[in-house]
């Protein structure tokens, strides 16, 4: 049988973790299509993988609607949302399978495929809980998933459990961990430190978009209790979190951390930067569906300190492959930072273990094989 015709659908044109996963997933699907609600760096990135990219005429700026917005806020946009659904119906009819890569993309795709009569796969990169979604949104998403999808792909058991707890059908779920490639040779840490004009001494790093639930503020509070430790913070406020970004800069002033903390903005060389730090911190205060930066740090041979919420415990094997601290606890985080900076003797073995675990559990090839199999089976109508 010839390869199915697939259309990948994204609501955003920005590139955060979910879109980085998609850029890997599309690798075997050159020549197929992507449909984006808005323009942005994701469009040329997908085109460079050989996809034919279409950008909606109606979706620009919709990403600024927060995903926990009330129905009332969405009503004025109803006309534009309907217009996108019409575009999606017509595009879906030219394909065998629709693959939605985000919650917003999924909701509109679900409506479209009921008209276009095409199988739909939802790659759910979120944990569906009240922290991120209103009650109505959760009900609508789960009902649409139960009735309209062939499969719901999630990156961790934590994300699967949350979907099922909200009423999602267990037999729809496929747990497919994010895959990350082995990293290229890094520049020398000294070179990177010089380039960024970083002070001598212990250095930690945070590599996530700026958002309150990602917890960068807890790192700043912890640094105030970890004298002599400097920090680089890579990432930008990608989805309307500018007020939080401003609050972080204010905190740096208030806590007198100006000579120890550097904001780097959105970077495209995270693995390289990681190789220059003494520990990577993953400080999310709410459960994470996955946490790519954890695996990136494991592959870079750098100690990880992560909050014990969502998938982190699984990825770090309950603390065997990194350090877990309670979410939102600046004292515990400061203690963990100070401990790692003292380079305890057990650390070398932990780093070896983490590297082996990342390679054996989180390879791109494994992810591609599983997802491609799901797409093939959805296209032929075989129960997946």
CA distance 134 to 74: 13
Q: Which of 299, 278, 280, 282 has its CA nearest to residue 343?
A: 278
Cα dihedral sign for 230, 235, 236, 239? Answer: negative
> Tokens for 121?
């796969």
CA separation, residue 72 to residues 85, 110, 213, 290 (Å): 19, 21, 24, 31
Please report how close the Cβ of residue 39 comes to ligand UDP at its closest, in angstroms.
19
The position carrying tokens 């350090």 is 323
Span near ligand UDP by CB under 6 A; candidates 193-201, 250-258, 262-270, 299-307? 262-270
- Quick check: helix, strand or coil at residue 6? strand
The Cα–Cα gap between 32 and 30 comes to 5
d(CA 312, CA 324): 8
20 binds ligand UDP (CB under 6 A): yes
Q: Give residues 293-312 in contact with ligand UDP (rule: CB under 6 A).
A: 293, 296
User: How many Å apart are CA 19 and CA 279, to the nearest integer?
Assistant: 25
291 belongs to the binding site for ligand UDP (CB under 6 A)? yes
Q: Contacting ligand UDP (CB under 6 A), which of 6, 13, 14, 16? A: 16
Element (H, E) at 36: strand 33-36
Closer CB to ligand UDP, 167 or 363, in the complex = 363
In the complex, least distance from residue 158 CB atom to ligand UDP, rounded to whole angstroms: 13
Taking CB under 6 A as the binding criterion, the range among 12-20, 33-41, 49-57, 337-345 that sits at the site for ligand UDP is: 12-20
Among 99, 106, 290, 362, binds ligand UDP (CB under 6 A): 290
Please, what is the minimum distance in Å from the beta carbon of residue 294 to ligand UDP? 7
Binder among 52, 66, 249, 267 for ligand UDP (CB under 6 A): 267
Nearest one of 307, 255, 316, 319 to 281, comparing CA atoms? 307
Q: How far is the CB of 73 from ligand UDP (least distance, A)?
A: 22
Among 49, 104, 151, 209, binds ligand UDP (CB under 6 A): 209
Cα separation, 218 vs 223, whole angstroms? 9
In angstroms, what is the minimal distance from the CB of 382 to ligand UDP?
A: 30
Minimum gap (Å) between residue 293 Cβ and ligand UDP: 4
Nearer to ligand UDP, 269 or 317 (CB): 269
Choose one: 114-122, 159-167, 285-293, 344-352; the region binding ligand UDP (CB under 6 A).
285-293
Q: Is 129 in the site for ligand UDP (CB under 6 A)?
A: no
CB 282 within 8 A of CB 316: no
For 121, the 3-state DSSP assignment is strand
Within 219-248, which residues bind ligand UDP (CB under 6 A)?
Answer: 234-235
Q: Which two tokens stand for residue 349?
A: 């073995």
**Closer by beta carbon to ligand UDP, 209 or else 377:** 209
Q: Crossing angle for the helix pair 78-92 and 103-116, nearest 10 degrees?
A: 60
Sign of the alpha-carbon torsion through 133, 156, 354, 335: positive
Cβ of residue 234: shortest distance to ligand UDP, in angstroms?
Answer: 4
Q: How many residues bind ligand UDP (CB under 6 A)?
A: 17
Which residue, 18 or 279, has its beta carbon nearer to ligand UDP? Answer: 18
We find the least distance from the C-beta atom of residue 162 to ligand UDP, in angstroms, to be: 15
Which residues of the chain form contacts with ligand UDP (CB under 6 A)? Answer: 16-18, 20, 207-209, 234-235, 266-267, 270, 290-293, 296
């Amino acid at each position: 049988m010839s390869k199915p015709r697939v259309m990948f659908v994204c609501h955003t044109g920005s590139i955060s973790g979910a879109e980085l996963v998609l850029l890997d997933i599309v690798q075997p699907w050159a020549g197929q299509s992507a449909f984006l609600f808005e323009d942005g760096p994701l469009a040329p990135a997908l085109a460079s993988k050989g996809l034919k990219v279409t950008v909606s005429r109606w979706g620009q700026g919709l990403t600024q609607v927060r995903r926990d917005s009330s129905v009332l806020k969405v009503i004025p946009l109803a006309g534009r949302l309907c217009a996108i659904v019409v575009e999606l119906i017509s595009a879906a009819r030219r394909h065998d399978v629709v693959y939605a890569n985000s919650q917003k993309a999924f909701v509109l795709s679900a409506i479209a495929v009921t008209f276009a009569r095409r199988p739909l796969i939802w790659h759910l990169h979120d944990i569906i809980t009240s922290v991120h979604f209103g009650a109505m949104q959760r009900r609508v998403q789960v009902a649409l998933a139960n009735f309209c999808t062939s499969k719901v792909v999630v990156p961790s058991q934590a994300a699967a459990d949350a979907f099922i707890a909200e009423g999602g059908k267990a037999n729809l779920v496929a747990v497919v961990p994010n895959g990350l490639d082995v990293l290229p040779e890094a520049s020398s840490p000294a070179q990177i430190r010089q380039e960024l004009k970083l002070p001598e001494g212990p250095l930690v790093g945070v590599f996530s978009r700026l958002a309150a639930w990602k917890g960068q503020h807890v790192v700043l509070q912890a640094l105030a209790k970890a004298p002599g430790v400097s920090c680089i913070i890579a990432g930008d406020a990608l989805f309307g979190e500018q007020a939080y970004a401003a609050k972080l800069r204010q905190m740096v002033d208030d806590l007198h951390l100006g000579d120890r903390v550097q904001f780097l903005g959105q970077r495209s060389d995270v693995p390289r930067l990681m190789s220059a730090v003494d520990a990577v911190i993953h400080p999310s205060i709410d459960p994470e569906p996955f946490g790519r930066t954890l695996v990136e740090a494991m592959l870079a041979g750098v100690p990880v300190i992560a909050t014990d919420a969502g998938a982190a415990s699984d990825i770090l094997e309950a603390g065997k492959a990194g350090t877990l601290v309670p979410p939102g606890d600046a004292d515990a985080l400061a203690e963990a930072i100070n401990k790692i900076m003292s380079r305890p003797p057990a650390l070398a073995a932990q780093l070896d273990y983490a590297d082996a675990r990342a390679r054996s559990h989180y390879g791109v090839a494994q992810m591609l094989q599983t997802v491609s199999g799901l797409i093939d089976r959805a296209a032929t109508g075989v129960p997946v």
